[in-house]
Structure 1
Amino acid sequence: MIQENKSSRSQSAVMEKVVPKLFLICAIISIFTTIGIVFTLLTETFTFFNRISIVEFFTNTRWFPFAADKHADFGIIALIMGTLTVTAIAMVVAIPIGLAAAIYLSEYASAKTRKVIKPILEVLAGIPTIVYGFFALTFVTPLLDKIIPGGISIFNALSPGIVVGIMIIPMIASLSEDAMNAVPNSMREGALALGATRFEVAMKVVLPAALSGVIASFVLGISRAIGETMIVTIAGGSRPTADINLTESIQTMTAYIVQVSQGDTGYGTTIYYSIYAVGMTLFVFTLIMNLLAQFISRKFREEY
């Protein structure tokens, strides 16, 4: 027994020395991967801006990169407007439904009901986005065409916006519910003891107390909607425009990257390098959203 104890202790000592080093290597790999991605984006983006004025890139409202060289326009505002339009529609759909689902699961549902509903809700997060894209194109768009007076284009901003909103409902609902569950029950019991109804407790006590986590879930949802690719590629179309028309075709930043990455563009051309410029812009957008979510969580976090 003494020999076995010594052997197990020596094995534990080896594991205690080896495992932390393995974890450190994994962390270093992650860091260098991020650095490599950013370095690649910056290098190719600078090459693009050596050919196209950065002022034109951020001020021109026309995006026609496939025209002849003298007539090509690289104004990313058109792609940004398409991206923000889809994102705005998605958040109009996702925030009310996701927040309502979170309040129900946290404040009204029994433990048994929560165990059934929450996994079903989170199944939405596991559906491939390309399935969502065809769902938007083949089901949501024909349905909207019957509802909207005057009809709707087969490729439009409204349909993918709605479906992107449906896709991010589980993210908002799950994160918001976790924030609400972190609120101590003593606050609920105190409000109920003072005569508040369950709805008043949920809206005036629990929700304000969990506000930092709820807002952070909104910001992360926006970041997810901005970076969505397949849904807007399939159902949104490929007509970049700075005009806001929900029933007509649009193009987002991610959809443009997919379009150019299909292999028809020659290596080293201006259109090729434009992928990296658009990708860098998208990276900055999502980075700002994630930093904003972290700032909100730290700034308004309630500690109990």
Structure 2
Amino acid sequence: MSAPDLTHDGFRSMRGAVFRYLFALCALLSIATTVAIVLTLLIDSLDFFAAISPIDFLTGTRWSPTNDPVSFGVLPLVSGTLVITFGSALIALPIGLLTAIYLSEYASRRRRAFLKPALEVLAGVPTVIYGYFALVYITPALDVILPLSTFNALSASIIVGIMIIPMVSSISEDAMSAVPDSLRQASYGLGATKFTVSTSVVVPAALSGIFSSFILALSRAIGETMIVAIAAGQTPRMLDITDPGGMFLDSIQPMTSAMVQIGASDVVGASTAYKSLFAVGLTLFVITFAMNLVSEWIASRYREVYQ
């Protein structure tokens, strides 16, 4: 009986240990990066709140960090962000869900193999291209019908909605594909049509994944920067629910656009105006983090487990 190849076994063991520590290092690096970003936001935001009351910041209705009289009320920026998010949701959520239903329940395997990657190409288009497309093509086309400003929330909302469609459709389609075929076959055995099976069986069974895709897509819309910076304008103003037309037809300024404006301006690095960039960033981070927590809660609370 020959002796075992100790050299070979030792090499395999050492290689496994190297890869294990390498993967652990990558995981720690991603966590360290996130912690560093959060700490940076917190430290500079605390410097800002030492000069400006958090209550004035969170409840103020005027945002003017560089023009006299200066004012640091974040509500107009939150208002602009909500307008873009709401407008993009009206486009992305129904189209993305219907696309997911088609890919999961109606498309053949061959069509799905072609359509899903083609749809996900939209997610790879640089957002600056989306922004210029909205400014150069969407706004002039809509201006024929509606009295739009050159920079407006409607064009930005449409393009942001198009941008997040792949996120909604891809995650929702994955959730629907995970529904067991036995549920579909049982419904067909009871005489249900494909439409009934899709809307009354598959969609409810995949509801946790669908809601998660909605929230993740809206979080992406809230954090979008280049599209709104190029197409939506830089006019911070409060949301007026009594005038939905004017709310979308005129220029607004979401939080991300305000951060770009401050960062690209000539304000002094240690000034309160510059520090407000981090306060707005912290506000944006808290909002998106809360939405991601809600997404995780919905996914865990309503997840269906099939054997």
TM-score by length of 1: 0.96
Structure 2 counterparts to residues 5-24 of structure 1, below 5 A:
5-24=5-24
Contact 2:211 2:298 survives alignment (8 Å): yes
Alignment partner, residue 301 of structure 1: 303
Alignment partner, residue 224 of structure 2: 228
Partners of 1:187 and 1:44 in 2: CA distance: 54
Structure 2 counterparts to residues 31-46 of structure 1, below 5 A:
31-46=31-46
Structure 2 counterparts to residues 121-140 of structure 1, below 5 A:
121-140=119-138
Cα RMSD after superposing both structures: 1.2
Alignment partner, residue 141 of structure 2: 143
Task: Write the deviation string for residues 272-302 of structure 1: whole angstroms up to 9, x where unpaired.
Answer: 0000000000000110111111000000000
Task: Write the deviation string for residues 135-192 of structure 1: whole angstroms up to 9, x where unpaired.
Answer: 10001111110122xx100100010001000000000000000000000000000000
Letter of the structure 2 residue corresponding to residue 48 of structure 1? F
Q: 1:238 aligns with which of 234, 240, 254?
A: 234
Task: Write the deviation string for residues 76-135 of structure 1: whole angstroms up to 9, x where unpaired.
Answer: 000000001000000100001000000000000000010111111111001000000001
Q: 1:82 aligns with which of 80, 83, 88?
A: 80
Partners of 2:297 and 2:64 in 1: CA distance: 37
Alignment partner, residue 55 of structure 1: 55
Letter of the structure 2 residue corresponding to residue 280 of structure 1? L
Percent identity for Structure 1 against Structure 2: 50
**Does 2:287 match 1:285?**
yes
Q: 1:209 aligns with which of 198, 202, 205?
A: 205
Task: Write the deviation string for residues 183-210 of structure 1: whole angstroms up to 9, x where unpaired.
Answer: 0000000000000000000000000000
Query: Unpaired segments of 5 or more residues in structure 1?
Result: none
Structure 2 counterparts to residues 246-285 of structure 1, below 5 A:
246-285=248-287
Q: CA deviation at 1:6?
A: 3.8
Q: CA deviation at 1:5?
A: 4.4
Contact 2:83 2:239 survives alignment (8 Å): no
Q: Secondary structure at the match of 2:249?
A: coil
Partners of 1:24 and 1:243 in 2: CA distance: 46
Letter of the structure 2 residue corresponding to residue 272 of structure 1? Y
Query: Unpaired segments of 5 or more residues in structure 2?
Result: 241-246
Letter of the structure 2 residue corresponding to residue 298 of structure 1? S
Q: Secondary structure at the match of 2:248?
A: coil
Q: CA deviation at 1:3?
A: 8.6
Q: CA deviation at 1:21?
A: 1.4
Letter of the structure 1 residue corresponding to residue 106 of structure 2? Y
TM-score by length of 2: 0.95
Structure 1 segments of 4+ aligned residues over 6 angstroms from their partners: none
